[in-house]
Amino acid sequence: MADNRHDKDSFYIRLVSMIYTVTFNPALDYVVRLDKLIPGEINRVHYENVMPGGKGINVSIVLGNLGHTSCALGFTAGFTGEALEKLVAAHGCKTQFIHTQTGMTRINVKVKASEETEINGIGPHITAAELQQLFSQLDQLTAKDILIISGSVPRVLPSDMYEQIMARLANRGIEIIVDAELDLLLNVLQYHPFLIKPNNHELGAIFNVELTTRDEVIPYAKKLQEKGARNVLISMAGEGAVFVSEKGEQFQSPAPKGTLVNSVGAGDSMVAGFVAGWLESNGNPTVAFRTGVCTGSASAFSADFATREEVNALLATL
């Protein structure tokens, strides 16, 4: 079937071949809960769980929960990498991880007590040849694919990884979504990513301002568009979210009502929900934005990631 294209004033309306996510340094997240963490003492937990971690992986898992197949790319190593791949596959995600020869997939320990404490691992060594394998995978993408790049870049990789990927895929019609901070985000705007999703704190850090209300973020979202971003989605935790489309449309939403259980992955869930809503509505920005907001909130209100049922329940309240 034909690939239905958009004109300059509308979203893409097309058939999608595959959604790809890239996580440069995925992890096993070892989550424990205890009443109080006492340094220097033996601390016994009353809850523990091992989950696959990494922003791109989170997006893939939530997309799967919403009924959309994706393929997770990135690097894994060692027995922890094998465990990570099994966990990701158990969530129904396709994977094409590159197996590195040195080191192991990191373990991030997340301690939830009276205060939250995180201890993040290092991750494997990635050689130039292994990085080239990732580039070769990305070279296979077509104009019917969507690519989501998110998260930090480990020290073993070039600091301009995002730029290298965007430049490599430029002018090929691939819709690329970027969720990153500061220079990682700013330096790719020249390649006109389809969507970027900073939160209000990240947006404020870019322009050295404090942004606390939805109205305040809109002028700065437009500044990112002036630098090259096509669509800008801004998450604001309990304040809700803002979306400024490439047509100049402005959308605001308060946060749906609910009890915060776990904020980890809420922003990634918003990205997944936006993509799902956009695809399901043939590029309707209102549906995409609402679905993104409710998916992010549904994950925040749950110990696990948002399900379709939870998202639909919140959509009914907006």
Question: With helix as H, strand as E and coil as C, how does 46-83 read?
Answer: CEEEEEEECHHHHHHHHHHHCCCCEEEEEEECHHHHHH
Which residues, other chains included, contact 226 with Cβ-Cβ below 8 Å and sequence gap of 6+? none
**What does the DSSP 8-state code read for residue 256?**
P
Specify the residue for token string 């220097």.
Answer: 40
Q: From the candidates 7, 139, 268, 304, which is the catalytic residue?
A: 268
Give CA–CA dist 263/315, Å, rounded. Answer: 19
Q: Positive or negative, the Cα torsion across 203, 206, 209, 210? A: positive
Please tell me the distance from the alpha carbon of residue 234 to that of residue 293, in angstroms, as a whole number: 10
Handedness of CA 120, 232, 284, 145 (dihedral sign): negative
In terms of Cβ atoms closer than 10 Å to its own Cβ (0-12, 13-18, 19+), residue 128 is: exposed
- Both tokens of residue 78? 């060692």
Distances in whole angstroms, Cα of residue 5 to Cα of each of 133, 149, 174, 191: 31, 23, 12, 19
Query: Which residues sit opposite 99 in a β-bridge?
Result: 76
**Residue pair 115/37 in contact by the 8 Å Cβ criterion:** yes
Catalytic site includes residue 304: no
Radius of gyration of the chain (CA): 19
Q: Which residue has the tokens 């990884």?
A: 161
Cα separation, 141 vs 149, in Å, equals: 14
Contact in structure between 107 and 58 (CB atoms under 8 Å):
no
Which 3 state secondary structure label does DSSP give 279? helix
Active site positions, annotated: 268
